[in-house]
Chains A and B, each alone.
Chain A
């Protein structure tokens, strides 16, 4: 929790807010995958930590501690599976409702992440009652489940951006500005925003789904699920000892992501410091972007085009200027009078050099939501990043405006949440928000 000057600690964005725009545009451009490749769609891999007995998938016995200075699921080595959920509060919900929900969620989260059943488990005292725990994760154990909770801006300022529905407006950090509207967003209101988010990551999808399902059930009457997303195949790695994963375009991402071991960089770029109220110090901001890939179009593009778009080789993931995957791209290199790495290549635009040194911690997942009515794959990247200030994400995203990758992607969902610091024993999530 250093208090150095993070390049990303700006005063937020222009405040236009997420403006869902259903209709698209003809021009094939759209805003880019913030950070795939170069700056690294990096993130976090699980292999390193999973080595000892954790194994993958069902039967994993490893658990990740729920309590700590920071919430789990941020620098925790990325598990393979995601169920991300966004909730909105029911109409007329009060401050007490919000507090009781966070209390109940804290209790359940602590049980779930231990691999224990929720409440009294699958066998209620009275068999005429439905079981407290829905039961589908029975026997699967913890599976490295992490639950990461975030608070939407509307909790502080209401739907109108001006009210104070829960009496916490005065505690909203200055940096918590809404994301602006980005060029070529094609956002769906039904996959954007939300008052509360929960990121559930685990080795096994059943474990992650079970967690969200039970938290949604617990929320009934106070909050309800508005949208959620399943993800598979982490698109980020946490250590150079493990292979960098690939996105659905078949390219390695995250070569230059912030790694868990980089304590100083985490303090500088990820963890909120003394610039924020106490409840937020040690927390971070979570940005989620659902990025549709036009898979069919991509698959028909030549290897040359694909590599030009990313600025990296497909097989090795090496910069087009040579070396291995981890070699520094040589942005000045020329081939026959033209830049070897295209001026609009993703690796160039997402690189910290192009963003005033800004780095963000990526933790995205691939997704496939079946297919659409036209037989096109509903596939893409559920991008998640953590940063000390939302302005850092904005900066990177804006610099991706000319990205060649934009021809093959559309941003269809978006959200921003403040992730409070970690929960200490005896506390509930974000308890500091409600103190005297």
Chain B
């Protein structure tokens, strides 16, 4: 179940309810107890051994019972490593332990509810995880009192992980682009955007970065900014499509870029996403609960916007809007997933159930058009009727999402 060239392949099975997620994350050397009152379910349970190497992530058992679960992660590789316990969507980070030096062993302790999880390591603490494997927790549900700080820390950890995956993918994309391998660059273009699209509302908090990374030409022009980033490269990579589009008739940006210009543009995008990674990794970086829940809503709003994915305006030359669409939905789902227990604790089970159901239907519908692994169909082949169905499902998801902040924050 390792991922090859994708940021994280999306599974499209119907989703069981995600398990409760409060985690005791062991971050660095200091174990921070972030959960509230937790019954000490299995105080003497043995730690589950995990062996991390530069290429694998081997776990002693693929199943355990609910309650306090401890992983003892030994780094047998040559790179600094980190270990993740992921939710069943393979994106939500239930717990993580990072900065495991070669030869060292560190523990991760979580309060795990019954459900399906995944384990994964990240040698070098950058890029995709390796050795991702299914992990099952059986038994009875545990009672926990979720705490805001733990939830926020969990989400910040997720944002961090997404940027860590983003940087090497963008580098790979830029390598192909700068070397003139247009076919490979075109293949990588939508994949290199996925991690970014999952966390965009957070990226937008750094006001100067989003315009450099993800603005489209009209936005850059109107704001008087140099036109750079993903969409500048898109315009060059799909040059014929851009040139055929009368909107930019006579525009100097329509001249195909020279290898030198490509290298410069590519270097800048890599530098910009690296800066983003560094900024979210700053210990000072944090979010509020409302940032998370409003971000979940904002991601859906961006899909439906007049210049968003639903109208096919986001990637107007590449027509890869379905990748962005899916990534926005996934990012929204993770944010929702992260605050789930807070909503449940506030007696908002009905809302949680409805969101689960609508996310499931949305992702199932998107899966009819492809996947990151197999590729999504070109959005210009999606008929108006089909787009309308996507719009209707997006609306059905967005409506309950508008109640999430109140369900979580006012509790």
Question: What secondary structure prevails in chain B residues at the interface with A?
Answer: helix
Q: Are B401 and A24 interface neighbours, CB within 8 A? A: no
Interface residues on B, range: 35 or more
Flag whether A292 is at the interface (Cβ < 8 A): yes
Q: Are B387 and A374 interface neighbours, CB within 8 A? A: yes
The residues of A that contact B314 with a CB separation of less than 8 Å are 26
Q: Are B210 and A27 interface neighbours, CB within 8 A? A: yes
Q: Are A23 and B391 interface neighbours, CB within 8 A? A: no
Nearest Cβ on chain B to A25's Cβ, whole angstroms: 3
Partner among A24, A299, A376 whose Cβ is within 8 Å of the Cβ of B307: A24
Chain A residue nearest in CB terms to B222: A183
Flag whether A22 is at the interface (Cβ < 8 A): yes
Q: Are B399 and A24 interface neighbours, CB within 8 A? A: no
Nearest Cβ on chain B to A189's Cβ, whole angstroms: 10
Contacts A23-B307, A300-B401, A410-B306 given; does A374 touch B388 at CB 8 Å? yes
Contacts A292-B306, A296-B304, A296-B395 given; does A373 touch B388 at CB 8 Å? yes
- A–B complex contacts, Cβ < 8 Å, 30 sampled: A21-B222, A22-B247, A23-B217, A23-B218, A23-B313, A23-B316, A24-B216, A24-B218, A24-B306, A25-B219, A25-B307, A26-B308, A27-B210, A27-B219, A28-B302, A28-B305, A181-B222, A185-B222, A294-B301, A294-B304, A296-B304, A297-B301, A297-B305, A300-B399, A300-B402, A302-B406, A373-B384, A375-B391, A375-B392, A410-B307
Distance between Cα atoms of A189 and B221 in the complex (Å): 18
Distance between Cα atoms of A184 and B311 in the complex (Å): 17
Q: Are A297 and B304 interface neighbours, CB within 8 A? A: yes
Q: Are A300 and B307 interface neighbours, CB within 8 A? A: no
Contacts A26-B216, A27-B219, A183-B223 given; does A294 touch B305 at CB 8 Å? yes
Flag whether A335 is at the interface (Cβ < 8 A): no
The residues of B that contact A22 with a CB separation of less than 8 Å are 247
Distance between Cα atoms of A23 and B311 in the complex (Å): 11
The residues of A that contact B308 with a CB separation of less than 8 Å are 26
Distance between Cα atoms of A297 and B401 in the complex (Å): 11
Q: Are A26 and B222 interface neighbours, CB within 8 A? A: no
The residues of A that contact B217 with a CB separation of less than 8 Å are 23, 25
The residues of B that contact A183 with a CB separation of less than 8 Å are 222-223
The residues of A that contact B313 with a CB separation of less than 8 Å are 23-24
Distance between Cα atoms of A313 and B156 in the complex (Å): 34
Flag whether B232 is at the interface (Cβ < 8 A): no
Nearest Cβ on chain A to B300's Cβ, whole angstroms: 9
Q: Are B391 and A376 interface neighbours, CB within 8 A? A: yes
Q: Are B218 and A25 interface neighbours, CB within 8 A? A: yes
Nearest Cβ on chain B to A105's Cβ, whole angstroms: 34
Chain A residue nearest in CB terms to B401: A300
The residues of A that contact B387 with a CB separation of less than 8 Å are 373-374
The residues of A that contact B384 with a CB separation of less than 8 Å are 373
Chain A residue nearest in CB terms to B399: A300
The residues of A that contact B305 with a CB separation of less than 8 Å are 24, 28, 294, 297
Distance between Cα atoms of A296 and B401 in the complex (Å): 13
A6-31 vs B, CB cutoff 8 Å, 1 = contact: the mask equals 00000000000000011111111000
Give chain A interface residues in 401-418, CB to chain B under 8 Å: 410
Q: Are B247 and A23 interface neighbours, CB within 8 A? A: yes
